[in-house]
Structures are given as C-alpha cells and as structure tokens.
Amino acid sequence: MPGFLVTIGRRVFGGLPREVAILSSISFTVALGYGIAAPAIPEFARQFGVSVAAAGSVISAFALMRILGALPAGRLVDRVGERTMMASGIAIVGVSSVLAGFSQSFAELIALRGVGGLGSAMFSVSAQTLLLRSVPGELRGRASGRYAGAFLVGAISGPAIGGVIAAWSLRAPFFIYGAMLAVPTCIAAVMLSSSARGDQPARAQRGGRPLAELVSVLRSRAYLAAGAANLADGFAVLGVRGAIVPLFVLDVLHRSPAWTGIGFGLVAAVNAATLLPAGRAADTIGRKPVIVTGCLLSASGMATLALVPSLGGFLGGLVIIGLGSGLLDVAPAAIIGDLLGGQGGSVVAAYQMSGDLGAVSGPVTVGFLVDSASYAAAFGLSACVLAAAGLLGLIAPETRQVKPQAAPTPAAVP
C-alpha cells in the first residue's frame, strides 16, 4: 500500500516543486477534519436551547472571522513568513476546536468557533501565498488544481465520517478534528522548514508597504477579474448551492433529501474530474479563456436551474455548475500568482476575502429573493453575478507569461 501511494503521488505531483505535494497534503487533512466536525456543529449548538437561526450563526461566526482576519493575516505573513503563520494558524484552529468540544454554553461555543475562523484565515492566506510563490508561472495552473483537488477530496470525505461519529457523540467530532490538526501543524513546521521559499529574508522587504502594494494591484484589471470570479463562485456555487438547493429539491421538485445528496455528489465528482485538465489548460492556453469559460458555464448551470424546474434540469444544471466551478478553482488563483511578484500575503488575503464575502452574502441575498419572489429569481440573480464576472474576465489582459523560444543554432557551413 505505501508503494502504491508513492506511485500515485509521483504521477499526480511529478514535475512540480515539493511544496505543492506538501501543501496539498496539509490542505487535504485540514478539509477532512473540518468536514468531520461540520455535521455536528448545528445540532450541538441546539443542545444549548437556541433557535435554528442561532445554531446556524455558529457557522457564520467562523466565516465572518475568516473575512475579518484575512488582511491582518496577510500582514503577518509578510512579517513572519508563510511557514510560521501556517503552523500557527492550524494550531489555533485545532486548539479552539478541542475547547469548543468542552463548551458548556452557546456563548463559549460561538466565541471559540470565531477564534477558529481567525486561525483558518491565517492558514489559508499563508498556504496559498507559499503555493503561488513556490511554483513557476508555467506550472501555476496545474499546482492550483492539485491543491484545490486535495481540499475537495478532504471536504467530500469528512462529512460521511463525521455523520457516523456525531451519531455516537456530538462532542467527539470536535476532539477528533483538533487531534487531526496536529498532523498538518507538524508538517507545516517541520517538512517545510528546509524550504528556502517558506521564510525568505525578502519577506521583510515585502512587508514594508503592504497597503501600497495592495492599492497598486487593485488597479490591475486582471486582479479585479480574478477577485470578481472568486466572489461570484463563492456567491453562486458555494453560497447558493449550499443554502437554497436543498430547499429547492423539497419545495419545487417535491423530491426526498436523497436527491440533494445525489446532486451534490454529481457536482463534486465533475468538479474533481475537471481540476487537472483545467490546470493544464490554464498553463497552456491561458488564464483568461479558462476563467471566462468557467464563469459562463456556471452561469448556464444556474440559468438551467431557473428555467427547467424538473429533475432532469436539476441534475443537468448541477453537472454544468460542477464543470464551471472546476475551472474557477484554478484560473483565478493562477492569475493572482502571476501578479504576485515580490508582493506577499496582503494581496492573497484580499483575493481570498472576495470568495468568503460571496459565500457569506450569497445565502442571505438569494434567501430574501426566494421569500419575496421565487427560486427562479434567486437562480437568475446568481447567473447574472457569474456572467458579470465573466465579462470582467473578457476585458482583462492575459497574465500567463510565455517563455521565448531559444534561437536555433545556425547549421555549420560545409
């Protein structure tokens, strides 16, 4: 079995810097642990006698603190280095998770989950900054695809395990999550310690003018296109899909919740199958065609849900969304890497904030539309948000740098 895993690892990560494989393994473990704890969080909160809305706010507190902590985390990445911030962030999430499992009140639980959100911001900003800085431009799309794929596999696997554990004990998933995070903490602290890119002295120079660097990059149409695509993906694909699709299945399709699981499984499977080809396309064809195609495909999937309210339209729309989301998991991040240059965490932090803002605002906005208008209006708005992001991508410049071909050596004259 170990030999088989080594062979698979070489085939997946062959030709990429060692940091890609290490960061992908960290991403997988963090996502797996979060997925194990996620099913238990709302039910555990309800044990303190709070409403359903209050129980859901525990998840919102984590996401909100990720947003609020992103820019400070970017500043710290520039000051202390990616590896130190990554290990510290994962450790904070792990310790706060264990303490959350011991919570004796709702206030304790929501406060500790908020602290976990800060640690998550520290981890995600530092990990993506190191990933994008460690990979040459011609491999950046493929590296982003593998990193996103590892996170996706962990996120898919975790809830299945967590559901079984939660049926036994609602506190146990928090303890298991915290214990699991000791592994990526050690990987970040030890295995990346020999990486010259992980804590370069140049980071002090990058950290000197983070606000000026951020203002400068915000003037880039390519950066704005990447941020808009990340926001639209978070708004429509993550926020809307997770918030109203389960209700759409019950209220409009009049099907059992099992079909929600089938639909989400289709999205995940198509998304995972798209990541590696999407990364290769971003590195060979260009970031711009991939990001525009991803936005338009996801918009088409949302439009299908709005216009074809049937089981076939539901499954077909989710397959199209899975294709588009796979492209958007790769191309925007590759653009950020192309623009990063000597800059650091603040640039990555602002980019990640856009996705978190979309994921937080999406459920609230479309939920209001469902209550005041219809599900079709909610899906239609999501399609418009994605189409607008695609338009920004269309007018943005291409950032992929093509290496000039070496001039052929003149043939010797006989």
The reply to whether 381 and 279 lie within a common domain is yes
Provide the pLDDT confidence category of residue 409 given band limits of 50, 70 and 90.
very low
Task: Look at residue 363 and tell me whether its pLDDT is greater than 70.
Answer: yes
Going from the C-alpha of 160 to that of each of 32, 151, 173, 205, 265, the distances in angstroms are 10, 15, 12, 45, 12
The reply to whether 183 and 316 lie within a common domain is no
Question: Where does residue 408 fall: left (phi above 0), alpha (psi -120 to 50 degrees), or beta otherwise?
Answer: beta
Tokens of 342: 């000597």
Residue 54 sits in a domain whose CATH number is 1.20.1250.20
For residue 119, give the 3-state DSSP assignment.
helix
Structure-model confidence comparison of residues 414 and 332, the more confident one: 332
The reply to whether 222 and 170 lie within a common domain is no
- The H-assigned helical ranges of 285-344 are 287-307, 311-328, 331-340
How many beta carbons lie within 10 A of that of residue 293, not counting itself? 20
Does residue 196 sit within a domain? no
Provide the pLDDT confidence category of residue 207 given band limits of 50, 70 and 90.
very low
The reply to whether 157 and 218 lie within a common domain is no
Task: Look at residue 239 and tell me whether its pLDDT is greater than 80.
Answer: no
% of the chain residues with pLDDT over 70: 86
Provide the pLDDT confidence category of residue 232 given band limits of 50, 70 and 90.
very high
The reply to whether 180 and 256 lie within a common domain is no
Task: Look at residue 224 and tell me whether its pLDDT is greater than 90.
Answer: yes
How far apart are the two ends of the chain, measured CA to CA in Å? 59
Q: What is the dihedral angle through the alpha carbons of 70, 76, 77, 79, rounded to the nearest 10 degrees?
A: 160
Task: Look at residue 8 and tell me whether its pLDDT is greater than 60.
Answer: no
Q: What's the mean pLDDT in 79-86?
A: 87
**Residue range 103-136, pLDDT digits in tens:** 999 999 999 999 999 999 999 999 998 888 888 8
Provide the pLDDT confidence category of residue 209 given band limits of 50, 70 and 90.
low
pLDDT for res 212:
64
The reply to whether 216 and 355 lie within a common domain is yes
* SS (HEC) of 12-30: HHCCCCHHHHHHHHHHHHH
pLDDT for res 369:
87
Query: What is the rounded CA–CA span in Å between residue 247 and residue 252?
Result: 8
Going from the C-alpha of 222 to that of each of 213, 237, 254, 326, 343, the distances in angstroms are 15, 21, 43, 19, 16
Query: What is the rounded CA–CA span in Å between residue 22 and residue 168?
Result: 33
Provide the pLDDT confidence category of residue 202 given band limits of 50, 70 and 90.
very low
Structure-model confidence comparison of residues 212 and 260, the more confident one: 260
> Which of 191, 225, 259 is where one domain is finished?
191
Does residue 203 sit within a domain? no
Residue 105 DSSP symbol: S
Does residue 20 sit within a domain? yes
Q: Provide the mean pLDDT of the chain.
A: 84
pLDDT for res 3:
47
Among 181-185, 200-204, 311-315, 397-401, the range scoring the smallest mean pLDDT is 200-204
Does residue 2 sit within a domain? no
The reply to whether 127 and 247 lie within a common domain is no
Count up the domains in the chain and report the number.
Answer: 2
Structure-model confidence comparison of residues 22 and 363, the more confident one: 22
Query: What is the rounded CA–CA span in Å between residue 75 and residue 395?
Result: 30
The reply to whether 158 and 237 lie within a common domain is no
Q: Which amino acid is at 240?
A: V
The rounded Cα 260 to chain-centroid distance in angstroms is: 21
Q: What's the mean pLDDT in 261-266?
A: 85
Task: Look at residue 278 and tell me whether its pLDDT is greater than 80.
Answer: yes
Domain range for 142 is 15-191
Does residue 9 sit within a domain? no
Among 131-135, 171-175, 322-326, the range scoring the smallest mean pLDDT is 131-135
Tokens of 132: 């994008």
The reply to whether 160 and 263 lie within a common domain is no
Task: Look at residue 345 and tell me whether its pLDDT is greater than 60.
Answer: yes
Does residue 406 sit within a domain? no
Which residue shows structure tokens 């400070």?
Answer: 72
The reply to whether 38 and 166 lie within a common domain is yes
Q: How many residues does the chain have?
A: 414
Half-sphere exposure of 79 (CA within 13 A, CB side): 9
Query: What is the rounded CA–CA span in Å between residue 126 and residue 189?
Result: 13
**Residue range 9-65, pLDDT digits in tens:** 555 666 788 888 899 999 999 999 888 888 788 888 888 888 766 777 787 788 889
The reply to whether 176 and 83 lie within a common domain is yes
Among 105-114, 175-184, 217-226, the range scoring the smallest mean pLDDT is 217-226
Does residue 405 sit within a domain? no
Does residue 412 sit within a domain? no
Predicted TM-score (pTM) of this structure: 0.82
The reply to whether 123 and 176 lie within a common domain is yes
Which one, of 158, 192, 141, 142, lies nearest residue 33 by Cα?
158
Which one, of 225, 331, 353, 234, lies nearest residue 275 by Cα?
331
